[in-house]
Structure 1
Amino acid sequence: MNRKSFLTTLSVGWVAFAAATGGFFTVLIRFLFPNVLFEPPQSFKIGFPEDFEPGKVDLRFKKQYNVWIVRDDEKIIALSTVCTHLGCTPNWQETERKFKCPCHGSGFRSSGINFEGPAPRPLERFKIGLANDGQIIVDKTKMFKYEKGEWNRSESFLKV
């Protein structure tokens, strides 16, 4: 074997070794640092009761937490943004004062009660209460269903 063919063989060998080692380390790094799906916390603070105006639906938490905050004269509730028909996300229509699902036309009052379209039941509520610092805290791990009579539970609304 002459010098030229030896160096060519050596170069090809080193390139193959580097490619194999690089591939191994790429796989190793992907294994050690996987893509992690970020999920927002299930329990979160949304502010003080006086931050929410009576008769209004607060849309600030829809995108990040999938929650609408609704306040009337007596209470504050946290409604799920998931339509009970097929799981689409209704939109709040301020002029008509209702949630309207774009998928199949279900309509919900600001209280979450269904009144039109194919949705079989009202929207679900999340647990809501006051934290030690006086802020409202929403806990999405606990849901309340109207048809089971759970909306009467004190954890499903916050008296103001």
Structure 2
Amino acid sequence: MADDPTPNVDAPKMAPAAALRPRPPSSPKLQKMLDETQGDLTRRAFVWHSTAGFITLLTLSCMRFFFPRALFEPKTRFTIGYPSDYGFGVDTKWQAKFRIWVVRGAAGLFVIYARCTHLGCTPDWKPAENKFKCPCHGSGFDSEGINYEGPAPKPMLRCHLEKDATGQIVVDTLNLYDFDTGTKMFKDAQPASAGPLLIV
């Protein structure tokens, strides 16, 4: 019977040893870890890397708020030349650089800060229509910056003006003046050397 070539059906089938063992890693430390956690390493590594990646992305997105979007901040106090440099009407040459318009009216010279009082867009000066028109929501302002159409709740703000020792106009965009809706500014203005309206 010992020479019987018939295999024993009840005996468990054995796989070759090479098929049971994974390919040995290059590092002995990794092999030791593999032996200790045999089937758990892949799942644990996936969860760990996913958590670390999520925390990293969250941290980076929160850190974005600490850095300003604007790479250049214009000066808030600057000179724009002499009063005689400006003729009657609206001068737009400082709009791109300082976001202001210089306006000479019947009462004098003043500076409007170029920001719509609705949501802060920069209106455009329309010389053919003699008005400022906001491209965002259609607010309209007359040549003195008084609102008369659209959703803007009040007139545009005016900048503080003064003359320096040489007689040049100094504009301060940190000191802005607010006016009531629909009222013309300084109807009964008196000559002054500084303030929101410069009489020259």
TM-score, with normalisation over the residues of structure 2? Answer: 0.58
Output the amino acid matched with 1:37.
L
CA distance in 2, matches of 1:147, 1:94: 25
- Stretches of structure 1 that go unaligned for 5 or more consecutive residues are 1-33
Name the structure where strand makes up a greater proportion of residues: 1
Question: Is residue 2:71 matched to residue 1:37?
Answer: yes
Output the amino acid matched with 1:158.
L
The match for 1:121 is 154
Output the amino acid matched with 2:170.
I
The match for 2:90 is 57
SS of 2:84 mapped into structure 1: helix
Question: Is residue 2:168 matched to residue 1:135?
Answer: yes
Residues paired across the two proteins, number:
125
Greater RCO, CA 8 A, separation 6+: 1
- 1:158 Cα deviation after fit: 0.3
Q: Say if 1:43 and 1:138, in contact at 8 Å, map to a contact too.
A: yes
Deviates more, 1:125-134 or 1:140-149: 140-149
The match for 2:82 is 48
SS of 2:80 mapped into structure 1: strand
Q: Say if 1:129 and 1:157, in contact at 8 Å, map to a contact too.
A: no
What is the percentage of aligned positions where both structures have the same residue?
42
SS of 1:47 mapped into structure 2: coil
- 1:78 Cα deviation after fit: 0.8
- 1:147 Cα deviation after fit: 2.2
Question: Is residue 2:96 matched to residue 1:96?
Answer: no
Output the amino acid matched with 1:57.
V
- Per-residue CA deviation, residues 14-38 of structure 1 (Å, 9 max, x unaligned), is xxxxxxxxxxxxxxxxxxxx99932
SS of 1:141 mapped into structure 2: strand
CA distance in 2, matches of 1:90, 1:40: 18
- Per-residue CA deviation, residues 31-57 of structure 1 (Å, 9 max, x unaligned), is xxx999321211000010010001x21
The match for 1:82 is 115
Moved over 3 A (4+): 151-154
Find the structure with the greater CA-based Rg: 2
Name the structure where helix makes up a greater proportion of residues: 1
SS of 1:95 mapped into structure 2: coil
Q: Aligned-residue CA RMSD in angstroms?
A: 2.2
- Stretches of structure 2 that go unaligned for 5 or more consecutive residues are 1-66
- 1:129 Cα deviation after fit: 1.5
The match for 1:6 is none
